[in-house]
Structures are given as C-alpha cells and as structure tokens.
C-alpha cells in the first residue's frame, strides 16, 4: 500500500505506520511469558510478518522477555526472509527490569543487538516501572546507549504520568527525547485518558503505543456471539471482562461496533483499531498481535479507511464507562 500516511514517534525522525505488529506471540513458548501463546513455527511467523509488510506495516515491537530473546530472533529471521534490509523497517524492543538494576542495561544490550542482527534497535524501551533502580537511573543508562549509538531512541512501557515525566526530564537534561510510552489502551480500557497518562503524553510530545487494542479479542465480538469459546480462552477467562457480567457490560458497545462494521463493510476489529488511531489525532499508534495470516491481514485493513467524526464520537460516548 502506498497511501498510508506515516506518523512521527514523539520528537524523533522515526516515521511509522499507524499500525505496527506486536510480536509477543513469537516467543516459542520459551519461558513463562512465552507460555501465553501457542508455539508458532518459523514458517507461520514468516507468513505473518510477510502479510503485515504487504499490508503496509513498517514497524515491529518485540521484547527481551518474549521467550528470552526467541521473539527477537524469530522476527529478525522473518524480516530477512521477506527480503528486508537494515534501515528498511523500524524495530522496537524492550529491556526487562525485574529483578535488576539500571546497571544491567549496558551489560545486556549486546545480547539484544545480536538477537536482532542485522536489524538495529530503533527504539529501546524499559518494559515495566518495577525495576530495582528508579526511572531516573534507568534513563541515564539509556542515554549512554544513545550516545554510544547502540540504540537510536528511548521509550518506556506501562509508566504512570509521574514516572513518564521524570523519565522525560532526565533525558531532556542530556538533549535526548523520550519518544514513547507503551500502555494498555482500547475501547474497553480507557484509563489512560483519566489517570493523566494521555494528557502528560500530549503535553510533552510523547507518542502513546497502544497494546492489547482489541482487549484480548473481546472487541471482535466473538466471545459475545459464541460463549463456548470462553472455555478455550486460557487465563483470560479469569478476568472480569470475560465473565458474564463483564460481557453484559460491554454488549451495547459491541453492538455499536458491529453496526459500524456493516456500515463501512469492514470487520469489527477494524472498527476498534480505527477508533484508536484516529480519535486522538496522531497521538496514538497501535500494535495488535497476530497468530495467523488472516489476523495479520485484518490488522492492516484498519489503515485503509477512516471513521467519520460522528462515528468516532459515537464510539467515544458508548465506551466512556470504561475510562
């Protein structure tokens, strides 16, 4: 696709498509984090990456904790198999802070670089705010990696408004921007709009990277239509939104999404993703995952149309109970 308007990540020169690909599911079930997903073989991973690229996606988000490097290696291999060269796509990964201190950041960076070889680390993020050093120490270590040209830019993930601001201030002193905060955000979880994260990101020029944008599949409507699928939903079925009361609470929103999907002749997931990438202007980019080719193709379809202002606002009103 040639007409997808790229967006700038924060105050950087990284230009990304509104939708990227989250790569947690490439973990190969290698560690506890990897057990959340089925074991995708290399051929399927290559296909998912290829379909994403064909749909216009130009960036990919992975992490150290996703299989202890298994996802990073699988992503790099799939990008190479698709004929991509370093510099032709944007790659983001993350440092896992628990139970570590900031001194671990420079000690492990070469492992991350080797796992993603030959693709450079365009964006390196602190994965959680629960490290054994505070965010200022972590940002000082990240700044050194930028100066050494081991990474290009710095981001954070799951950081509160206060910790995000502290991180931004620490980097600013060294002339380095904090460009992203990767957080859970969807029509079924709009808490970042009421806890200060979105407002602070807008104030400081930090892009929000939204993960779990389909609320682990609930926004597709499949669990409302086929409640027998709940038994196959693994750990998710224990969460409140998957329980009967949660499904009843989200049903009016799901019905509106279905109505709009018919109106625009797209899928329900397309509607949910399109709202995310347009309601706040260019402030939000999104990283849905995919465990099959059809899901990867479906994700990219959300960039091929735009909800009207009236419909964006209608979904806003319907989902305000989830702020």
What's the whole-number mean pLDDT along residues 235-263? 83
What is the token pair recorded at 52? 């994403």
The CA angle 14-18-23, to the nearest 5 degrees, is 85
pLDDT above 70 covers a percentage of the chain that reads: 92
Q: pLDDT category, 3, cuts 50, 70, 90?
A: confident
The answer to whether position 75 is within a domain reads yes
Given the residues 66, 124, 153, 211, select the one marked as catalytic.
66
Flag whether pLDDT at 266 surpasses 90: yes
Q: What is the pLDDT of residues 23-35, one digit of tens each?
A: 999 987 776 665 5
Flag whether pLDDT at 216 surpasses 90: no
- Bridge partners, 60 (sequence order): 21, 91
The answer to whether position 164 is within a domain reads yes
CA-nearest of 110, 126, 125, 28 to 77 is 28
Residue 13 sits at φ, ψ, to 5 deg, of -110, 15
List, in order, residues 6 or more apart from 222 with CB less than 8 Å away.
Answer: 229
pTM (2 d.p.): 0.95
Cβ neighbours around 266 below 10 Å, total: 19
Whether residue 130 lies in the annotated active site:
no
The answer to whether position 228 is within a domain reads no
The CA angle 155-160-166, to the nearest 5 degrees, is 65
Q: Which CATH number does the domain housing residue 12 bear? A: 3.20.20.100
The answer to whether position 259 is within a domain reads no
The answer to whether position 94 is within a domain reads yes
CB 57 within 8 A of CB 19: yes
What's the whole-number mean pLDDT along residues 72-84? 98
Cβ neighbours around 138 below 10 Å, total: 27
225-to-220, 248, 251 alpha-carbon distances in Å: 10, 12, 10
Structure-token match 């040209």, residue found: 149
pLDDT above 90 covers a percentage of the chain that reads: 85
> What's the domain count of the chain?
1
172-to-30, 155, 196, 205 alpha-carbon distances in Å: 37, 13, 20, 12
Q: What is the pLDDT of residues 105-155, one digit of tens each?
A: 999 999 999 999 999 999 999 999 999 999 999 999 999 999 999 999 999
The answer to whether position 226 is within a domain reads no
The answer to whether position 152 is within a domain reads yes
Q: Which residue did the predictor score with more confidence, 149 or 236? A: 149
Flag whether pLDDT at 239 surpasses 70: no
- Bridge partners, 28 (sequence order): none
State the Cα–Cα distance between residues 116 and 151, nearest whole angstrom: 12
Q: What is the pLDDT of residues 272-302, one digit of tens each?
A: 999 999 999 999 999 999 999 999 999 999 9
What's the whole-number mean pLDDT along residues 217-243? 67
CB 62 within 8 A of CB 92: yes
- H or E stretch covering 157: strand 153-157
Helix (H, G, I), strand (E, B) or coil at 323: coil
Domain that holds residue 41: 7-217+269-308
CB 279 within 8 A of CB 204: no
What is the token pair recorded at 40? 């995708």
List, in order, residues 6 or more apart from 73 with CB less than 8 Å away.
Answer: 115, 116
What is the residue-averaged pLDDT of the chain? 93
- pLDDT at position 257: 97
C-alpha 12 chain-centroid distance: 18
The answer to whether position 123 is within a domain reads yes
């Amino acid at each position: 696709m040639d007409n997808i308007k790229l967006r700038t990540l924060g105050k950087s020169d990284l230009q990304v498509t509104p939708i990227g690909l989250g790569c947690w599911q490439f973990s190969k079930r290698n560690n506890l984090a990897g057990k959340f997903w089925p074991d995708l073989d290399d051929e399927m991973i290559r296909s998912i990456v290829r379909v994403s690229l064909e749909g216009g996606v130009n960036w990919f988000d992975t992490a150290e904790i996703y299989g202890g490097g298994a996802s990073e290696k699988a992503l790099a291999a799939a990008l190479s198999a698709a004929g991509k060269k370093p510099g032709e796509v944007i790659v983001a990964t993350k440092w896992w802070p628990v139970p570590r201190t900031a001194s671990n950041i420079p000690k492990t960076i070469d492992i991350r670089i080797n796992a993603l070889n030959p693709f450079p680390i365009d964006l390196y993020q602190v994965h959680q705010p629960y490290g054994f050093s505070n965010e200022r120490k972590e940002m000082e270590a990240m700044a050194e990696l930028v100066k050494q040209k081991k990474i290009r830019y710095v981001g954070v993930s799951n950081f509160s408004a206060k910790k995000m601001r502290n991180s931004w201030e620490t980097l600013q002193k060294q002339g380095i921007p904090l460009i992203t905060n990767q957080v859970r955000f969807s029509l079924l979880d709009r808490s970042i709009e009421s806890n200060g994260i979105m407002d602070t990101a807008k104030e400081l020029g930090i892009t929000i990277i939204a993960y779990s944008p389909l609320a682990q599949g609930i926004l597709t409507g499949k669990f409302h239509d086929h409640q027998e699928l709940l038994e196959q939903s693994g750990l998710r079925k224990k969460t409140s939104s998957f329980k009967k009361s949660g499904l009843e609470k989200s049903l009016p929103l799901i019905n509106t999404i279905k109505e709009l999907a018919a109106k625009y002749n797209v899928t329900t997931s397309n509607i949910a993703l399109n709202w995310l990438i347009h309601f706040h202007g260019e402030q939000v980019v999104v990283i849905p995952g995919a465990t099959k080719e059809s899901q990867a193709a479906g994700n990219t379809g959300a960039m091929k149309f735009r909800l009207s202002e009236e419909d964006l606002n209608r979904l806003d009103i319907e989902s305000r109970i989830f702020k």
